Amino acid sequence: MLAITPLPTYLGVFGKPKDEQIKRVESINFSYLLLTILNTSIWTSYAYKTKNIDLAVISIVPLVISIILSIIYLVVKKEIFQVKAFVVVILVSQILNFDVLSTEWCGLLGTSCSVIGNLIPLSFMPTILKTKNVKGINLPLTYVGLFCYFIWLLYAILKQDLFMSLS
């Protein structure tokens, strides 16, 4: 649910004026998209190491969607720095999918990325408080995120998985 929330906004960019396209893709922070790619890659690796098919499916789907959203973002914005960052994240993600990390390190890294991903929206808070403009907050993504995180917490508690519970 969390991964598909931005899809209507992003898929609606095509055929719009350039300023509308930019406004639509900037509704989701590019750093968030990159971190989601990295995070879901790590959780996919963790899922395979722990043989948790539920987690594998739920990690692969957002991974693919985040890559698609990132490509749409790059097609619209065309900034070389962001293209380089995207390539680096894809390469690092692929390296982490090999047996470079132990299961514990994978879980710790996945938990860390999940926490950082949840902190990214907080980086907008000083500007929001100063300007009283909530432009940096994507409300549908926030609502769906809260709902999904609650469900994942319940799932992690039932599975008695410390790393999933912490993230």
Tell me: the pLDDT tens digits for 138-160?
A: 777 778 778 878 888 888 888 88
One DSSP character per residue, 57-119 reads HHHHHHHHHHHHHHHHHHHHH--HHHHHHHHHHHHHHHHHTSTTS-HHHHHHHHHHHHHHHHH
The two structure tokens encoding residue 52:
């948790």
Residue ranges in the chain modelled with pLDDT below 70: 97-98, 135-136
One DSSP character per residue, 27-55 reads TS-HHHHHHHHHHHHHHHHHHHHHT-HHH
pLDDT for the residue numbered 80 = 92
Alpha carbon distance 146, 151 (integer Å): 9
Alpha carbon distance 101, 20 (integer Å): 42
Residue type at position 141: L
Mean pLDDT, all residues of the chain: 83
pLDDT for the residue numbered 136 = 62
**What are the distances in angstroms from CA 88 to CA 63, 84, 148?**
15, 6, 28
Q: Where do the structural domains in the chain lie, given as residue ranges?
A: 7-166
pTM over 0.85: no
Alpha carbon distance 109, 113 (integer Å): 6
